[in-house]
């Protein structure tokens, strides 16, 4: 049986005081391939923001890659995001570097130390 990496149970997702999604029940196992589609304004970004800690899960239960979304603290968010490998839709590359040099910069900034691992 595969390990559960994401689980939401009766989750309600809010942007401020506005309810965006209600009673979300979702489970994803290690190795699953999932894609999220929908029209503009249907809650896709809010759903993802909840998963990577940008929006707090205020109602329901949720866990992702070993992190309890209900108990997630600000200090935990960088560690969560490293496990998820989040690439934001409005990401900015440093214009004075190549794509590879941008990647090396991020790897070093997030604690990668072995040169061979960075360049492989």
pLDDT value of position 89: 66
- The vertex-11 CA angle with 9 and 14, nearest 5°, equals 165
User: What tens-digit pLDDT sequence spans the chain (120 residues)?
Assistant: 689 999 999 999 999 999 999 999 999 999 898 888 999 999 999 999 999 999 999 999 999 999 999 999 999 998 998 888 776 666 677 788 888 888 888 787 777 777 776 676
pLDDT value of position 35: 87
* Phi, psi (rounded to 5 degrees) for 24: -80, 125
pLDDT value of position 113: 74
User: In the chain, what are the helix, strand and coil shares in percent, each to the nearest 5?
Assistant: 30, 25, 45
The CATH number of 4-84 is 3.40.50.300
**CA distances, 51 to each of 30, 65, 118 (Å):** 16, 10, 27
pLDDT value of position 8: 98
pLDDT value of position 119: 72
**CA distances, 86 to each of 2, 9, 30, 82 (Å):** 22, 22, 17, 7
Token pair in block for residue 101: 């040099």
Where do the domains of the chain lie? 4-84, 90-120
Nearest residue to 50 (alpha-carbon basis) of 13, 19, 96, 87: 13
pLDDT value of position 88: 65
pTM above 0.75, yes or no: no
């Amino acid at each position: 049986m595969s390990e559960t990496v994401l689980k939401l149970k009766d989750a309600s997702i809010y942007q401020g005081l506005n309810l965006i999604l209600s009673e979300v029940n979702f489970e994803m196992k290690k190795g699953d391939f999932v894609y999220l589609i929908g029209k503009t304004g249907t809650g896709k970004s809010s759903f993802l923001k909840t998963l990577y800690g940008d929006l707090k899960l205020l109602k329901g239960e949720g866990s992702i890659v070993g992190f309890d979304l209900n108990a997630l603290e600000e200090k935990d968010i960088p560690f969560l995001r490293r496990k998820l490998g989040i690439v934001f839709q409005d990401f900015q590359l440093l214009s004075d570097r190549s794509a590879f040099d941008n990647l090396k910069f991020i790897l070093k900034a997030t604690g990668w130390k072995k040169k061979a691992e960075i360049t492989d």
